[in-house]
Structure formats: structure tokens, C-alpha cells
């Protein structure tokens, strides 16, 4: 069994470990994505040339400790932040890495923080209907709302549709945010730490939902801190360390032969958590 081997500096990116799903067509490709932020008087490079491919029907988990730039990368992909350098393609078209909605009609983002993600002035039904209305849909809207609320385990729909975000728990808000993101049936769903506000069983429910979406053909890119959730849900792991993807591949292949110290550290953390829990009498 491999244990934690201490942090070392990655000198170069590891080649991805190929697996069967790698044959599916890419829906999103990123090349050399770079982003700097000003910290006081200095510029700090948060993303240092990220390369990543997400394929149709795949769940890709971007895994890494806090502060490595996971949300920053998601905000760039979703067009909320401009990258300093890099190139991207989405559905075979050039995706401008600028703060723009252009080219992003077929993607949805679930924000990490469900408290700021929902407008306090919109009821649950209006929150979920908003993206459909923007796209000009007019028919069977309430049936669709009921369907997506059931999919995120908020049932019966009548108990939730007229509530405002202030009348929901953090976990319920996160599920409404996910319902809103999937209501338009996006080709790519970006889910930034979608289970961090949920209890364990609700979290597993959301991971199963994301897997189900992928099996229906949606591409899902998810960020998580913990390797156990990543391995549960993903076909492909990408380990992000200080702004670079340093190791990637199928979960089984990475767990069998972790190369980077950061990967071994994430494995050791997941293993300690599982061992501690297995000692509890449940």
C-alpha cells in the first residue's frame, strides 16, 4: 500500500493514462490557460497553462486542495472571468476565453457557494424557469420544473416551488441551483464543489444524478477536494496542483499507480477518512 510521501515539486506534467472513454469526441478542450491575480503589489500566477479535455458522456473530476485555482478555471470556462492566455474549443468551435456569454449557450455552471448563487428575490419556480424563459421556451414549463426538482430530490415539488432562497437550507439551495443548471439540458455541466453543502446521503444522490446525466450524453466537469467522491463519480481524474494539472487518467489507473506526491497525499487523506469511519459502529 502506498502512503503519503510528502510534498515535492512537480517538474513536468504526467501524460494522461488512457482509458476506453478517451475515444469519445471532445466537447471541451483547453490549452495553455493562464490567469494571474494581483495580491497586494504583486501578481500571482494562479493558473499556469492548464490543458484539459472533457469528452461527451464523461464525468471529469478536477481534484485539488483549497486555493489551487479550481473555481478560477471554472469561471474562465463559463465566461465570468477573462484568461490572460490560452485557447479553448467548445462543441468544435473556438471558445473566447473572455468575460462573455458568447459560445456558451450549451453550458451551465453550478456555483460553489449556493448562498450567493440564487437571487433572493426569485422563488424556486422562477429561479428554475429563468434560463428556460431566456432561451424562449414557453410550453410544459411546470412539468419540466417538477421533473428537475424530483431529479435533485426535492419532492413533492409543491412544497418547494413557492419558497424563496431565504426559506431553504444550504443543501436545499444547492439542489435548486443544480436543478436550474440542468433544466436546459446542457451539453456541458460545470459543477463546482456541488456536494460541499450537502449531507453524505444527499451528496451521494447528487453524484449519482451527475453520473446519470453523463450516461445520457451530457459531459460533466466537477471540482472536488476529496479523492473518494472524485473516484465515485468520475471516469477521468485531473489533479490540479498550484495552477497546473500534474497527473490525470482513469481513477483505477491513478489509484493503482499514483505518481505525484500530491496524489498520494489526497489518497492518504481519503484512506484516513474511510478508516476512521469504518471504526464507527453504524
Q: Which residues bind Mg ion (CB under 5 A)?
A: 70-71, 112
Q: How big is the site for ligand ATP, counted in residues (CB under 6 A)? A: 12
Of the candidate residues 70, 104, 173, 175, the single one contacting ligand ATP (CB under 6 A): 70
Residue placing its CB nearer to Mg ion in the complex, 112 or 172: 112
46 forms part of the interface with ligand ATP (CB under 6 A): yes
Cross-strand bridge partners of residue 53: 29
Measured between alpha carbons, how far is 270 from 53 in angstroms, rounded to an integer?
Answer: 25
67 forms part of the interface with ligand ATP (CB under 6 A): yes
Q: Least distance from C-beta 76 to ligand ATP, angstroms?
A: 10
Q: Which does 66 bind (CB under 5 to 8 A by kind): ligand ATP, Mg ion, none?
A: ligand ATP
Of the candidate residues 58, 72, 174, 263, the single one contacting ligand ATP (CB under 6 A): 72
Q: Which residues lie closer than 8 Å to 244 by C-beta, 6 or more apart?
A: 10, 13, 48, 49, 50
SS3 64: coil
Phi, psi of 45 (to 5 degrees): -85, 110
Q: Which residues lie closer than 8 Å to 150 by C-beta, 6 or more apart?
A: 157
Residue whose C-alpha cell is 462543441: 91
Cross-strand bridge partners of residue 192: 223
Contacts to ligand ATP from residues 110-139, by CB under 6 A: 112
Q: Least distance from C-beta 207 to Mg ion, angstroms?
A: 17
Beta strands in the chain (DSSP E): 26-39, 42-55, 59-63, 85-90, 93-94, 107-110, 188-192, 219-224, 236-241, 244-249
Q: Which does 108 bind (CB under 5 to 8 A by kind): ligand ATP, Mg ion, none?
A: none
Site string for ligand ATP, 197-236 (x = CB under 6 A): ----------------------------x-----------
Contacts to ligand ATP from residues 13-42, by CB under 6 A: 37
Residue placing its CB nearer to Mg ion in the complex, 191 or 219: 191
Residue whose C-alpha cell is 469511519: 277
Q: Rule CB under 6 A: which residues touch ligand ATP?
A: 37, 46, 64, 66-72, 112, 225
Amino acid at each position: 500500500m502506498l502512503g503519503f510521501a510528502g510534498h515535492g515539486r512537480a517538474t513536468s506534467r504526467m501524460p494522461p493514462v488512457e482509458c476506453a472513454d478517451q475515444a469519445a469526441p471532445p466537447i471541451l478542450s483547453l490549452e495553455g490557460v493562464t490567469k494571474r491575480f494581483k495580491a497586494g503589489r504583486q501578481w500571482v500566477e494562479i493558473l499556469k497553462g492548464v490543458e484539459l479535455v472533457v469528452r461527451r458522456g464523461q464525468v471529469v473530476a478536477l481534484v485539488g486542495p483549497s486555493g489551487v485555482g479550481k473555481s478560477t478555471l471554472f469561471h474562465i470556462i463559463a465566461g465570468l472571468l477573462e484568461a490572460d492566455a490560452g485557447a479553448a474549443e467548445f462543441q468544435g468551435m473556438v471558445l473566447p476565453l473572455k468575460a462573455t456569454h458568447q459560445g456558451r449557450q450549451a453550458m451551465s455552471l453550478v456555483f460553489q457557494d449556493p448562498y450567493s448563487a440564487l437571487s433572493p428575490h426569485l422563488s424556486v419556480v422562477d429561479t428554475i424557469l429563468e434560463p428556460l424563459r431566456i432561451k424562449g421556451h414557453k410550453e410544459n414549463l411546470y412539468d419540466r420544473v417538477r421533473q428537475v426538482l424530483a431529479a435533485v430530490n426535492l419532492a413533492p415539488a409543491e412544497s418547494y416551488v413557492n419558497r424563496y432562497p431565504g426559506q431553504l437550507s444550504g443543501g436545499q439551495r444547492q439542489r435548486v441551483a443544480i436543478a436550474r443548471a440542468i433544466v436546459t439540458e446542457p451539453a456541458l455541466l460545470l459543477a463546482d464543489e456541488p456536494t460541499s453543502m450537502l449531507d453524505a446521503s444527499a451528496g451521494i444522490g447528487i453524484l449519482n444524478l451527475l453520473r446519470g446525466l453523463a450516461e445520457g450524453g451530457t459531459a460533466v466537469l466537477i471540482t472536488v477536494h476529496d479523492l473518494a467522491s472524485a473516484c465515485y463519480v468520475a471516469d477521468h481524474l485531473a489533479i490540479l496542483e498550484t495552477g497546473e494539472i500534474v497527473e490525470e487518467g482513469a481513477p483505477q489507473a491513478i489509484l493503482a499507480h499514483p505518481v505525484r506526491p500530491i496524489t498520494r497525499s489526497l489518497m492518504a487523506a481519503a484512506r484516513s477518512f474511510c478508516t476512521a469511519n469504518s471504526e464507527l459502529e453504524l
